Structure 1
Amino acid sequence: MSQSAAAHPASLLFDQVRFVLNETSHPGNVGSAARAIKTMGFGRLVLAAPRAGADVLCDPEAVALASGADDVLANAWVVPDLDTALQGVSWAVALSARSREYGPPNAEPRESAAIAVQHAGQGEAVAFVFGSERTGLSNDDVERCNALVHIPANPMYSSLNLSQAVQLIAYEVRMACLARERGEGSQVAAVAALPPGREGAAHDALATRDDVEGMLAHLERALVDLDFLDPENPKKLMTRLRRLFAKSHLEREEVNILRGIAKHVLERRIRR
């Protein structure tokens, strides 16, 4: 059941937030990230396809730099890919040092934290996704998320260590959680915030990221079948549709309607 802000203590909101490190190379960054989120009250660390290997949680450097956050490190999830890391997540934020021509809507760190807490307050899982130290997130990884955040660091020296970026975002989300617990509203951009009237709605009406991904795959097959989408020259059609649906905060029933349309298109072509 959805709970109101007054009945939703910050500790419950914290449990809805995941910090996902995608293809992280250095064990020290894993340990430092565990320490960073624990200092802000969070405990859900997810490692997607860590390049340091699945045994990174036991690496001496990771354990040393966790520095008291051994419990967060030991309980971290190690999963084979980003899709698995985001299973069950309704709203995901990609962190990137560079802007993208295509992809989800842009948001500021503080704004994204406030939006994430809105979703967490509905009982939904949310995630902040960080790329590898060397190459960051790929365009495909970014497109799997609902918003893109760039930390506005010094343009003359904007290099942030991975764990520093995690610390900064964890702080912003903590402040947003505590503000919600006090009943204080946050100003968030209309393009990304929950639409008016959605706050307090039953959270089981909202589509998860898994629901939307399944619908997009189904819709893509239907568009190919209609000859509307050329798989040999797709251009940016599916990317633009992803961006459209990322803004829409689809409900499960709406996703089911779109899948029903796609199913009917595919079945009609088979009958013909």
Structure 2
Amino acid sequence: MPTDTPQPSFVLVRPQMGENIGAAARAMWNFGLDRMQVVSPRDGWPNPKAVAMASGAGRLLDEARLVDSVDAAVAECSFVLATTARSREMTKPVYSPEAAMRETAKRVARGEKVAVLFGPERAGLDNDDVARASAIVTVPVNPAFPSLNLAQCALLLGYEWRRAQGGVTEVEDAPGETGWATREEVARLARHYEDRMDEAGFFFPEHKAANMRRNLLNFWSRMPMTQADVRMMHGVLRQMVRWKDRG
């Protein structure tokens, strides 16, 4: 079983090589992290090459959660970080690894669930993955060679997580009695608005619809929302639809 230590979940999205999954497990366990999720690994699961590379961290692979989508991996989280070396045409907070793990430590200390997304080795996270995140983590690397190996990225974030552990006890920016909204609750809200906007003909012209939907999801994902906020926004839309129907 995973340890009881409160910590973020490291989510490996569509990893391609078992060796890199195993090396990422070693990097995580070096810094006391043992919550791994694996999204649609290319070479199937379990992976013997991952086990061989993990060495003393094989327990993380035995306990890793296999899921088929990013949505499933982050459903219970209220804060999601996407690691990327490339600039994205999305308005989101951008953190350094150090700042990202300080923010993560604060949130975890007050009981929130946090996930960190790591993309596949060849091209990293795609835009739809990043749109689901609350914020971006980027590393000031050589612009002529910005690509980090999956395990290197996990090691870097694990190291900064360990450094951020010193004395994080404050409970600030508390959400009140209802708690922070999870990614699943925000995703349901996004679908509610998307469905009604689709009925109203908002996603036009057709060739721009996919990008418009992604921008809408990005809007909701980067917004810190409480469960009360989500309920209110559902209610606002339902009332607007009722008002339209009465007219």
Structure 2-normalised TM-score? 0.88
- 1:110-144 CA deviation, whole Å, 9 max, x = no partner? 11111111211221110110111112111000001
* CA RMSD in angstroms, aligned pairs only: 2.4
2:240 aligned residue: 265
Which residue of the partner structure matches residue 114 of structure 2?
Answer: 126
Residues 190 and 220 in structure 2, CA contact (< 8 A), matched pair in contact too: no
2:20 counterpart of 1:29 = yes
Cα distance change of structure 1 residues 249 and 49 upon mapping to structure 2, 3 Å threshold? same
1:53-74 CA-to-partner distances (Å, cap 9, x unmatched) read 1222xx1x21121110111111
Instruction: Tell me, in whole angstroms, the C-alpha distance in 2 between the residues paired with 1:46 and 1:138.
Output: 18
- Number of residue pairs aligned between Structure 1 and Structure 2: 244
Q: How does 1:187-226 map to 2 (within 5 A)?
A: 198-199=173-174, 201=175, 204-226=178-200
2:89 maps to 101
1-structure distance, mates of 2:209, 2:78: 27
**Structure 1 residues 60-106: Cα deviation after superposition (integer angstroms, max 9, x where no partner):** x2112111011111100111111111120111111112110125322
Compared with structure 1, are the counterparts of its residues 152 and 104 closer, same or farther at alpha carbon in structure 2 (3 Å cutoff)? same
Q: 1:231 to 1:173 in 2, by over 3 A?
A: farther
For 2:124, what is the secondary structure of its paired residue?
coil
SS in structure 1 of the partner of residue 184 of structure 2: helix
- State the one-letter code of the partner of 1:177: Q
Partners in 2 of 1:219 and 1:49 — Cα distance?
Answer: 28
Greater CA drift, 256-265 or 82-91: 256-265
Partner of 2:38: 47
Amino acid at match of 2:195: R
Q: Check whether the contact 1:130–1:136 (CA below 8 A) recurs between aligned residues.
A: yes
Residue aligning to 2:133: 145
- Partner Cα distance (1:244, 1:141) in 2: 14
Counterpart selection for 1:255 from 223, 230, 236: 230
Q: Distance in 1 between matches of 2:129 and 2:149?
A: 20
1:165 equivalenced with 2:153 (yes/no): yes
Task: Measure, in 2, the Cα distance between the counterparts of 1:236 and 1:23.
Answer: 22
Distance 1:170 1:264 in 2: 46
CA displacement at 1:242 relative to structure 2? 4.1
1:190 maps to what in 2?
none
Identity of aligned residues (%): 32
Name the CA distance, whole Å, in 2 between partners of 1:96 and 1:203.
34
Match of 2:142 among 136, 154, 158: 154
Q: TM (normalized to structure 1)?
A: 0.81
Where in structure 2 are there 5+ consecutive unaligned residues?
none
CA distance in 1, matches of 2:148, 2:22: 16
Q: Can you give the 5+ residue segments of structure 1 that lack an aligned partner in the other structure?
A: 1-10, 184-193
Cα distance in structure 2, aligned partners of 1:204 and 1:66: 40
Contact kept in structure 1, 2:83 and 2:136, CA below 8 Å: yes
Does 2:16 align with 1:16?
Answer: no
Q: Once the 2 structures are TM-superposed, how far is the Cα of residue 21 of structure 1 from its aligned partner?
A: 0.3
